[in-house]
Structure 1
Amino acid sequence: MDLLGWLIFLFALMFSVMLHETGHFVAAKKFGMKATRYFVGFGPTIWSTHRGETEYGIKALPLGGFVKIVGMTSMDDVDPADEPRSFRQAPGWQRIIVLVAGSFMHFVLAFGLIFCLALGIGIENDNTTQLGLVAACVPPNESALVNGAACTSSDPRSPASIAGLRVGDTITSFDGVKVSSWAQLADVIKDAKPGSRVTLTVDRDGRPVTLHTTLAGVTGRTGGYLGIAATTVFQSASPLGAIEYAGTGFGQVLVGSARALAELPAAIPDLFSKNRASTAAGNVSSVVGAAEATGQAVAADVGWQYKVSFVLLLIASLNIFVGALNLLPLHPMDGGHVAVVIYERVRAWLARLRGRPDPGLVDMRKLVPLTFSIFMILVFFSMILILADIVNPVNIG
């Protein structure tokens, strides 16, 4: 099952890459630009075919993909016959659309996945009084409770077990107080004193059942202890609710991605620490870490809804992050090319105001040192993250 999770993630990754390149390709074709190659992967070609003026194919290393559009920069050699259809000869607004089309496809895929999740599988709701766990014993102290320590022969039975509560029961009343959310139920249990006798009303398979028990206490923890935990239910959203959920989720992932990216330099020392998961370094990961998390989720002993929900949200988050990263105004990413086009158009506008001719395209040879430096920085961070995910992975639990 763990291997199946890896395969699912790798397929999703390659599909996302293909979608990204398809965005560039379709936009370029729409504006009449000449695209000569559309490939998945890098390295030696293992298969290709020609359709019209474009060669489609698969490379040996499935680490990305690319679309070759004629005349992307001033450094490209272009056949004079193809120059009118080159990327660099197109109006600035068309070039910008072609450049951002890849990230746009990532965003569409992510929004669509979150929308379908909310509409089809449902939105997780763990603020219910339906029980997902009935503890067998009373933990000896708060540390054992928090860490989920196993019961020993000396541990007394939990009040929930003595009462006869079952997984799937929905508590509707606690000692005469009606409850409809886990927050309400947790508050009334915490306010009750250990040793007090309480009456519980539960909904069991559609019929009310009344149960009785005596609350216990846990050393180091205030309030009563019953020995229960809520389950997570999936509630299908309406189409409008799914749109709202997708929009909110998209925004949260975008903000979280920006925060994680900003914290990455400072988080590097913690990538290899024992407590990585509890630091900022636990919020950043490479494709290896994401694939491992997918494998863990698929292999976990939980319901299919949890698995599908986790995998879809992970894939959506990855696409949002990659789409946003590509739009950063740093060469050689798409956003860097957009910045160059905008600079060219602003420079041309200023030249017109002064009655001077259009200065033309930016000499990309001057940007080669900067482009190479940024590329090496990206490679460095990628390698560090991959190494950390191999030797010090974060367990998603």
Structure 2
Amino acid sequence: MMLILGIALGALAILVSVSLHEAGHMLTAKAFGMKVTRYFVGFGPTLFSFRKGETEYGVKGVPLGGFVKITGMTPQDEDADDPRAMWRFPVWKRTIVMAAGSVVHFILAFLIFWFVAANFALTNPANPGPAAQVSDLGKIPAYVTVAECVPLTATATTCNNLNGPAKVAGIKEGDLIVAVGDTKISSYAELVAAIRGLTPGKTVPFTYERDGKQTVTAVTPVEAERTPIDDRSGKVSKVAAIGVGQTWDPALPKTVEYGAFEAFPVAGKQMGAAATGVVTSIKNLPDKVPGLISAIGGEERDPESPVSVVGASRLTGEAIERGFWEIALLIIAGLNFFVGVFNLLPLLPLDGGHIAIAWFERARSWLYGKLGKRDPGRVDYYKLMPLTYAVILVFGAFTLLTVTADVVNPITIFK
């Protein structure tokens, strides 16, 4: 029951975010004097609506997103002759209106990050353990957790053979690896690099520290498929593995609490981490398609694969069911940040596509003026319709793919 309630709350949070996105467009358009005729939450048949001034506000029957109608967004619109049509306004005003939706998402993400930091105990940045960012792996001591066995593929999370090389060699949870062969180890990143540089099947001495005492043991690595340590969505290759993972420094606390003012810079750092993650995710989206298709066919799903709003709602519900409200909120914050960035991509029909065209028109007009030529005027959106439909088709197909994967083979936080 709590899972269903959590999923419903997650879906509601996403709906509210999208509604506020459209409100951002509406409020900035009205502030500049543009004519806004409709603002609706949802799609499909109208459940109810009311009119205030020149704008109709309402709710529709399908609670998936929303829309705002600004008169004359392009010169080709039916209402483009209206003196308050959007296309008639300066390009900087149109840019602000089109970017306002994404700005709302960024503000929401920051506020959620701040709220979580100010009200929940978070991972100690000096002792992140398995939650460490890739950029921090070179600063963290090589304390390890030991697996019963070694998953042999990059996406596998379980395995049947109970013969993890590190476990067999006597290495235990919380041990600090200080040397691999003759190579001194001072960070977890150095440990991973040293292990992956070994030859599978060839025994190598490992030196570890436990309770202040150093011990040397013999470890025989096996061959396994792994992604690059600095790009978990990157190309899979075969490397040596011994069945260890990153864990916490036992001498430091795992979590830390922040006050309301201390939480602001923490939220700022989380925004930076989210930006890095989103850029990497968008860059690797095409490479994830084969894995999603395989997951729909019944193969084990990569936990790093993309999720749809259905998957995000499920993950949020799962976190709420287990009582981890902070995780649910962080999922919603991350989703808001992703949507904010994605909407700014310079592709129609996304907001970023309209912004790109507006500035293209402005730059072209300036260039033609410098050359003494007649301004060619506005871009004909009708000529861009084939490209627009192609983008819609690609995004629609990808959305259908992720939704299907989230239904038949969903990612879960807790095993």
CA 1:247/1:259 → structure 2, altered by over 3 Å: closer, same or farther? Answer: same
Q: Which residue of 2 aligns with 1:78?
A: 79
What does the per-residue CA deviation read over 1:291-350, in whole Å, with 9 as the maximum and x for residues that have no partner? 1111111112xxx4xx12101110110000000000000000000000110011011111
**Contact residue 45 and residue 57 of structure 1 kept, 8 A:** yes
1:242 partnered with 2:242: no
How many Å apart are 1:383 and its aligned residue? 0.5
How many Å apart are 1:127 and its aligned residue? 6.9
1:267 partnered with 2:267: no
Alignment partner of 1:377 out of 394, 404, 408: 394
Moved more, 21-30 or 345-354: 345-354
Q: Which residue of 2 aligns with 1:286?
A: 308
Q: Which residue of 1 aligns with 2:89?
A: 90
Alignment partner of 1:313 out of 324, 330, 345: 330
CA 1:232/1:309 → structure 2, altered by over 3 Å: closer, same or farther? Answer: farther
CA 1:189/1:221 → structure 2, altered by over 3 Å: closer, same or farther? Answer: farther
**Contact residue 327 and residue 336 of structure 1 kept, 8 A:** yes
Q: How does 1:197-276 map to 2 (within 5 A)?
A: 232-237=254-259, 239=261, 241-271=262-292, 272-273=294-295, 274-276=299-301
Tell me the distance in 2 between the aligned counterparts of 1:148 and 1:330. Answer: 40
Q: How does 1:82-121 map to 2 (within 5 A)?
A: 83-121=82-120
CA 1:69/1:126 → structure 2, altered by over 3 Å: closer, same or farther? Answer: closer
Q: Larger radius of gyration, structure 1 or 2?
A: 1
Q: Which residue of 2 aligns with 1:297?
A: 319
Give 3-state SS (helix, strand or coil) of 1:73's partner. coil
Alignment partner of 2:302 out of 277, 280, 288: 277
How many Å apart are 1:48 and its aligned residue? 0.5
Alignment partner of 1:332 out of 340, 343, 349: 349
Q: Which residue of 2 aligns with 1:164?
A: none
Tell me the distance in 1 between the aligned counterparts of 2:148 and 2:381. Answer: 60
Tell me the distance in 2 between the aligned counterparts of 1:126 and 1:49. Answer: 50
**Contact residue 349 and residue 392 of structure 2 kept, 8 A:** yes
Tell me the distance in 1 between the aligned counterparts of 2:286 and 2:158. Answer: 34
Report the AA paired with residue 295 of structure 1: G
What does the per-residue CA deviation read over 1:204-247, in whole Å, with 9 as the maximum and x for residues that have no partner? xxxxxxxxxxxxxxxx999xxxxx999854512451x3222111
What does the per-residue CA deviation read over 1:273-303, in whole Å, with 9 as the maximum and x for residues that have no partner? 433235xxx3411111111111111112xxx
**Contact residue 332 and residue 371 of structure 1 kept, 8 A:** yes
What does the per-residue CA deviation read over 1:166-195, in whole Å, with 9 as the maximum and x for residues that have no partner? xxxxxxxxxxxxxxxxx9xx953484679x
How many Å apart are 1:391 and its aligned residue? 1.3
Report the AA paired with residue 276 of structure 1: R
Q: Which residue of 2 aligns with 1:41?
A: 42
Percent of matched pairs sharing the same residue: 41
CA 1:142/1:357 → structure 2, altered by over 3 Å: closer, same or farther? Answer: closer
Report the AA paired with residue 333 of structure 1: L
**Contact residue 122 and residue 237 of structure 1 kept, 8 A:** no
Give 3-state SS (helix, strand or coil) of 2:109's partner. helix
Tell me the distance in 1 between the aligned counterparts of 2:43 and 2:385. Answer: 21
Report the AA paired with residue 398 of structure 2: F
| Greater helix content | 1
Q: Which residue of 2 aligns with 1:12?
A: 13
**Contact residue 148 and residue 243 of structure 2 kept, 8 A:** no
Give 3-state SS (helix, strand or coil) of 1:24's partner. helix
**Contact residue 45 and residue 60 of structure 2 kept, 8 A:** yes
Tell me the distance in 1 between the aligned counterparts of 2:94 and 2:27. Answer: 13
CA 1:33/1:230 → structure 2, altered by over 3 Å: closer, same or farther? Answer: same
**Contact residue 126 and residue 230 of structure 1 kept, 8 A:** no
Tell me the distance in 2 between the aligned counterparts of 1:245 and 1:16. Answer: 22
The TM-score, its normalising length taken from structure 1, stands at 0.71
Tell me the distance in 1 between the aligned counterparts of 2:368 and 2:48. Answer: 48
Give 3-state SS (helix, strand or coil) of 2:286's partner. helix
**Contact residue 285 and residue 386 of structure 1 kept, 8 A:** yes
Tell me the distance in 2 between the aligned counterparts of 1:47 and 1:189. Answer: 68
Alignment partner of 2:408 out of 384, 388, 391: 391
**Contact residue 123 and residue 237 of structure 1 kept, 8 A:** no
How many Å apart are 1:261 and its aligned residue? 1.9
Tell me the distance in 2 between the aligned counterparts of 1:3 and 1:230. Answer: 37
Q: Which residue of 2 aligns with 1:180?
A: none
Tell me the distance in 2 between the aligned counterparts of 1:387 and 1:229. Answer: 45
Report the AA paired with residue 45 of structure 2: P
Report the AA paired with residue 352 of structure 2: G
Give 3-state SS (helix, strand or coil) of 1:84's partner. coil
Give 3-state SS (helix, strand or coil) of 2:123's partner. strand
Q: Which residue of 2 aligns with 1:177?
A: none
